Copies of this chain bind each other. A is one copy, B any other.
């Protein structure tokens, strides 16, 4: 397996585009994305667990009930949630996009991201659709990734080449997400495309297992969005022997999915609202994987740990505290804590007790823009990784005045 370029257009048969149609006021900001597969594709998705769900999620879920889809349309600037006309607008977006490409509306994945509670107008989408569809191309992945951004500062794409049954396949994706990021089943918006031949059932299984290890271990601010969606389309154009059961081929596909998802996870965490640092917390030696996940996510979510990382302050007691309230049943008399970055690593706590360390050395390590927090529990074989970012002045600035 190797990383390649191309994002959602890395796999055979996929084209994409993104334009400014007028949902957002700034004419420089693209706000409408389209991803199209030449062939109707197997499709799987996971959605937010928030009881409030964006109107587009309900439409997409209905459209994917048959395990197939052929294209994705997504706008930024308005979440199409908590307004009176949400379902009509979501169906309208799907119908307009389907007509422009000559496919069935029921084969459309539809998604929205932006402010909650604003009425949404279909007119700019209708006006922009012909140009959006006409501009679909193999090079359009960048434009599509830009068009789904809100407070993101960079577009997020990843892709890999891998083999199934000796046949080369590709899997790529794009993601958006910077605030309201604390996925539980899924994150803001992640769209993946692959030319691997895989049945809808196995595609859903790979995705559902994967999000537990990847996007559900990601937190920027503890707020689970109303619109979180991870969706993958598999159009079979690689002509590999189709993956229909568990086994080595399924595992190869899962590894490819994992590689792309982890890359997108890290990209979202690093671009968290106001973030200056990517934080990765790796827990080993937990009783089981569940305990490791609880501990890692608790550390990544701690406002006090996040603030300390912003200040490059080696306040490891806050890490100990966050493991303590994570809900795990463990003897924390044997916990070790290490901070690590490309500048080196430093042991701060052994067997639950602070050790002498050089403040100067610690400061140097924590001044890098990627920090690893390594925790060993000596309680079993469970391991897990979680991703997040520091809490900065800019987070407060961005969210103190996002809407107005």
Within 8 A of B (CB), among A112-155: 115-119
Which of B119, B307, B396 is A307 in contact with, Cβ under 8 Å? B396
Contact in complex: B393, A325 (CB < 8 Å): no
Contact in complex: A50, B325 (CB < 8 Å): yes
Range of interface residues on chain A? 35 or more
Closest to A324 in B: B52
Highest count of chain B CB atoms <10 Å: which of A222, A307, A313, A326 = A307
Contact in complex: A316, B117 (CB < 8 Å): yes
Interface majority SS (helix, strand, loop, mixed), chain A: loop
Query: How far is B180's CA from A320's CA once the two chains are assembled, in angstroms?
Result: 13
Q: A317 to chain B: which residues have CB within 8 Å? A: 79, 81-82, 115-117, 403
Within 8 A of B (CB), among A360-404: 391-393, 395-404
Q: A315 to chain B: which residues have CB within 8 Å? A: 115, 402-403
Query: How far is B316's CA from A10's CA once the two chains are assembled, in angstroms?
Result: 40
Query: How far is B187's CA from A186's CA once the two chains are assembled, in angstroms?
Result: 33
Contact in complex: B222, A303 (CB < 8 Å): yes
Closest to A399 in B: B307
Q: Is A349 an interface residue (CB 8 A)?
A: yes
> Known: A222-B303, A303-B399. Is A116-B82 also a contact (CB below 8 A)?
no
> Known: A223-B302, A316-B117. Is A82-B308 also a contact (CB below 8 A)?
no
Q: A117 to chain B: which residues have CB within 8 Å? A: 316-317, 320, 348-349, 353-354
**A213-234 interface mask toward B, CB cutoff 8 Å, 1 = contact, 0 = none?**
0000000011111100000000
> Known: A82-B320, A354-B83. Is A180-B304 also a contact (CB below 8 A)?
yes
Q: A115 to chain B: which residues have CB within 8 Å? A: 315, 317
Q: Is A84 an interface residue (CB 8 A)?
A: yes
Q: Is A177 an interface residue (CB 8 A)?
A: no
Q: Is A95 an interface residue (CB 8 A)?
A: no
Going nearest first, the 5 A-B pairs with the smallest beta carbon separation are: A116-B317, A311-B400, A307-B399, A52-B324, A117-B354
Offer 20 A-B interface pairs, CB within 8 angstroms, sorted by A.
A51-B323, A51-B324, A51-B326, A51-B330, A82-B320, A83-B353, A117-B316, A117-B348, A117-B354, A221-B304, A226-B321, A303-B395, A303-B399, A308-B400, A311-B401, A313-B404, A317-B403, A391-B399, A392-B396, A396-B396
